[in-house]
Structure 1
Amino acid sequence: MTRVAQLDSLALDKELYGQFWSEFNAVFNTDGHKEEWELVVNSLVFVCATRFLPQCDSSSTYGSALSGVAFRCRKRTLYVVTILARYVWKKITHAVFNGSHGGDQVVWLKLYKWLELLYRGCDVSNFLRFLTADGADTRSFLSPLYRVFNVYSTRLVGDGPAGISDFYSNSVFAGLEFQNRQLLWNALLELFSKTLLTKRGLLPFARRPPRPRSGATFKTVCPHCESFPTNPYQIACCRANYCYVCVVKALEWSMCDACGASGALTAKSVY
């Protein structure tokens, strides 16, 4: 069981809870009791996601099961460290910063900041120990809260010959293959646009045959867009009047739509 799999389990659970909460919050108005509603939604997701997972002397969430990670604890303990602890911390934060403590507000703020600083220091220390942990019998804890409740990670044991982590591995490999195909497709499109769709590629073969035009038409109709020339420019090969944008395209492609001439074309402003 790798450290990456353990960190991936946290990221997958966070994404799962966030997705359900964002969908629920978009449909229902939760401004009055936002934390309580979020606790209810996350609790339902936790119960539904862990109900049918294998429990072989361990507990697991949906993200940890996909990553092949389990936790040596009871399911209610895992619920406390993953769902309930975040709710309690949010309620404490709101209670401290809402300014309803009167003269003790400064004292509560200092205590809150001290506790937060202490937890962050413990979190850094725990993460360093998590990275340096080695050996099959070494217990690894994902956060100080996991360490307090003695919730440590272990390998998830599947029911069949292929473990649940195989689904996660196959999903990762499928995502990498999809990205590789996207990169190859983008490279082919860039090659196609820079080589074939140029004046040295397909454009010389896509010339429109010149149509018979009178002298008045050469002055009043743009050969490219067939509209009245806006900010007209006169091309030197056949003295047809182009719009400014159209003459820029004709000079860039080295092809006149009026007479079919190609090469080093030039044009000058009529006014």
Structure 2
Amino acid sequence: MSRVAQLDSIALDKELYGQFWSEFNAAFNTSEHKEEWELALNTVVFMCATRFLPHYGSSCTYGSALSGVAFQCRKRTLYVVTVLAGYVWKKITHIIFNGPHCGNQMMWLKLYKWVNLLYHGCDVTNFLRFLAAEGPNARAFLSPLYRAFNVHSTRLIRDGSAIASEFYSNSVFAGLEYQNRQLLWNALLELFSNTLLTKRGLLTFVKKPPRSRSTTTYKTVCPRCGGFPTNPYQIACCRANYCYVCVVKALEWSMCDACGSSGRLTASPVY
């Protein structure tokens, strides 16, 4: 079974709970007893979005149904793992960090830090085992808490056969198709930027007509900026005097603004 589908099922459930909580929190004042309000709302969402499949002994949530994943446990066990455990951990954290900082409290704080560190270590180990689990009989647990309650992921069975969710498959294929289009457009834009849209490429299509000023005028007027040539340089094609900055641009673009010549231009300082 796809590991991505199992992780996506958890992400979709978290997004569902977060969306309902943000809407509820915006409509009502939950500053007092925030954890209890969140527990009550998550319980309602869980009861409405989760169902138990008695024929197969598995439960599926909103996110797991979309991803084609089920959990081999009863509905109440899944509720403890997904909703109640988070509330209990938040309450323990709140009690430990907001209690009086006496000697006994500091001991509980150290114990809390060690338990938290131990859980994160087990979480990393469990995730590596989750990625390495292979074969039809391999059990994949999404977290150490799932492993403690023996809640492992299975394929969602519909009409007697285990099939992936059509919505999830279409979403994956749509995402891949979108990425392919983005890569194609990026390649085309890079092609245009490196060839047609360069300064030299544009100048081959749009050449400036030669100006009608006399050669004497170009001795005292820069043909590019129209000002008196600062630190003047004389271009070899028509002997016009450019400013230093302007002649650098003319040589870079291979286009003389005075006579319209193009190609390998050269210039030398006047003095």
TM-score range, shorter chain: 0.7 to 0.9
The residue number in structure 2 matching 1:56 is 53
Superposed displacement of residue 255, structure 1: 0.9
- State the match for 2:181 in structure 1: 181
Partners of 1:147 and 1:45 in 2: CA distance: 24
Q: Percent identity?
A: 69
- Whole-angstrom distance in 2 between the partners of 1:47 and 1:230: 81
| Unaligned stretches of 5+ residues in structure 2 | none
Q: Per-residue deviation at 1:242?
A: 5.0
Q: Aligned in 2, Cα 1:71/1:211: closer, same or farther, shift over 3 Å?
A: same
Question: What one-letter code is carried by the residue in structure 2 that aligns with 1:261?
Answer: S
Instruction: Please say which of residues 36-45 and 203-212 is displaced more in the overlay.
Output: 36-45
Structure 2 counterpart of 1:123: 123
Partner of 2:190: 190
Answer yes or no: is the 8 Å Cα contact 2:60–2:70 preserved in 1.
Answer: yes
- State how 1:99-118 maps to structure 2 within 5 Å: 100-118=100-118
Tell whether 2:261 aligns with 1:265: no
Partner Cα separation in structure 2 for residue 218 and residue 29 of structure 1: 79
Give secondary structure in 2 for the equivalent of 1:70.
Answer: strand
Flag the 1:132–1:183 CA change in 2: closer, same or farther, 3 A: closer
Please give the secondary structure, in 2, of the residue aligned with 1:66: helix
Q: 1: CA distance between counterparts of 2:173 and 2:197?
A: 35
Q: Which residue of 1 aligns with 2:81?
A: 81
Asked if the contact 1:65–1:164 (Cα under 8 Å) also holds between the matched residues in 2, the reply is no
Q: Which amino acid aligns with 2:143?
A: S
Structure 2 residue matching 1:59: 3-state secondary structure = strand
C-alpha spacing 1:131/1:264, structure 2 compared with 1 (3 Å): closer
State the Cα distance separating 1:16 from its structure 2 match. 5.0
Cα deviations by residue, 1:215-249 (Å, 9 ceiling, x for unpaired)? 558755763xx6757967545144254583x5443
Is the Cα–Cα contact under 8 Å of residues 71 and 153 in structure 1 kept in the other structure? yes
Give the Å deviation of 1:154: 1.8
Tell me how far apart the structure 2 counterparts of residues 44 and 257 of structure 1 sit (CA, whole Å). 75
Partner of 2:6: 6
Given that residues 5 and 68 in structure 1 are in contact (C-alpha distance below 8 angstroms), is that contact kept between their aligned partners in structure 2? Answer: yes
Q: Deviation at 1:108? A: 0.6
Separation of aligned partners in 1, 2:63 and 2:258: 65
Q: Deviation digits for residues 46-70 of structure 1, max 9, x if unmatched?
A: 556x26xx64333222332222101
- Mapping for residues 145-160 of structure 1, pairs under 5 Å: 145-158=145-158
What is the CA–CA distance in structure 1 between the aligned matches of 2:252 and 2:26, rounded to whole Å? 50
Q: How does 1:116-265 map to 2 (within 5 A)?
A: 116-131=116-131, 133-158=133-158, 163=163, 165-198=165-198, 201-213=201-213, 219=220, 223=224, 234=233, 236=235, 237-238=237-238, 239-241=240-242, 244=245, 246-265=246-265
Question: How many residues get paired?
Answer: 265
Q: Does structure 2 retain, via aligned residues, the 8 Å contact 1:221–1:228?
A: yes
Partner amino acid, structure 2, of 1:78? L
Q: Give SS of 2:70's match.
A: strand
| Whole-Å separation in 2 of the counterparts to 1:31 and 1:37 | 9
- In the TM superposition, residue 142 of structure 1 has moved relative to its aligned partner by 1.8
Between 1:248-257 and 1:38-47, the stretch displaced more is: 38-47
In the alignment, the residues of structure 2 paired with residue 231 and residue 42 of structure 1 have an alpha-carbon distance, to the nearest angstrom, of: 74
How far 1:254 sits from its partner (Å)? 0.7
**Partner Cα distance (2:83, 2:189) in 1:** 47
